[in-house]
Amino acid sequence: MAKAKRTPKWQRDPEGMRLRILEAAKQEFSAHGLAGARVDRIAAKAGANKRMLYYHVGNKDELYLAVLEGAYDKIRSEERGLDLEHLDPPEAIRRLIEFTWNYFLRNPEFLSLLQTENLARAKHLKKSTKVKSMHSPFVEMIRTVVRRGVDGGDFQVAVDPVQLYISIAGLCFFYLSNSATLSVIFGRDLLDKKAKDERLAHMVGLVLAALTGQSVALFEIAKAPKSRSVVAQTV
C-alpha cells in the first residue's frame, strides 16, 4: 500500500471553525426559526461535519443561544460607539433613529432572531447570564439627551427614555420585520429605495415633531427640497 495522503485534507482551525459554525447557524436560525432550523444544513453551510457542532458549541439549543447572545453583543457594541453626548438633542435623536434603522437594514438576521426568540417567550434568553449583564447603558445615554433637550428648551416633554427607545425601535422594527405581509396587504413594495427613504423621513418627522412640538417636515423639506413631501403629503 502506498503511503498516500501527503497533503492534509483540512487545516486545524478550531477558532475559525467555531466562528464559521456560529455564522452558519445564525443564517439558518434566522431563515427558518428554531424548530425549522436543520442541524445538518448548519454543518454543511459551515463546511463542517455535524459532529463538529456538538464538539465546538453544543447541542441545537446551546448553539441557538450562542447565536442569540452574539447578536445582542454585536448591536450593543455598535450602539456604544454612537456617542450622542455632543450633538444637540434633536440631532442626537435623529441620529439614533437613523442608526437603528440602518442597523436593522444591515442586519436582517437580527430581526428574525428576535422574532424567533419572542415567539418562544424569551425562554432561552432568560437562561442567558451574559445578556442580562448587558443592560444597555444606552438607556442612560438617551435619558441624558432627553434631559438636555428639555433643559435647553428644545423638547417639550421629558419622555421616559425606555418608552422612547421602544418607540423608535418599534417604528423601525415593525416596518422591516413585517414588510413581507404588509407589502402583500397594501399592495406596494415597502422595500424599494424610495419607500425606505420615505419611511425614514416619516419616522424622524414623527418623533421629532412629537418631542419638539414643531412640524419637522419643515426643516426636513428645507434640507432636501426636491423630494416633494417626506413626512407630509398634500391631500
- Cβ distance to DNA smaller for residue 51 or 226: 51
Q: What radius of gyration, in Å, describes the C-alpha atoms of the chain?
A: 22
Please report whether residue 14 would count as binding DNA according to CB under 7 A: yes
Footprint of DNA on 92-121 (CB under 7 A): none
Report in angstroms the alpha-carbon separations of 36 from 12, 31, 57, 74: 30, 8, 19, 24
- Cβ distance to a copy of itself smaller for residue 83 or 151: 151
Site pattern 22..41 for DNA (x: CB under 7 A): ---------------xxxx-
Contact partner, 115, from DNA, a copy of itself, none, Cβ < 5-8 Å per class: a copy of itself
Q: Minimal distance in Å, beta carbon 28 to DNA? A: 9
Type of residue found at 222: A
In whole angstroms, give the CA distance from residue 167 to residue 31: 26
In whole angstroms, give the CA distance from residue 33 to residue 60: 12
Please report whether residue 186 would count as binding DNA according to CB under 7 A: no
In whole angstroms, give the CA distance from residue 42 to residue 54: 12
In whole angstroms, give the CA distance from residue 153 to residue 124: 43
Q: What are phi and psi of 135, to 5 degrees?
A: -35, 120
In whole angstroms, give the CA distance from residue 64 to residue 29: 7
Footprint of a copy of itself on 151-210 (CB under 8 A): 151, 156-160, 162-163, 166-167, 169-171, 173-175, 177-188, 198-199, 202-203, 205-207, 209-210
Footprint of a copy of itself on 99-138 (CB under 8 A): 112, 114-122, 125-126, 131-132, 134-136
Footprint of DNA on 146-165 (CB under 7 A): none
- Cβ distance to DNA smaller for residue 59 or 233: 59
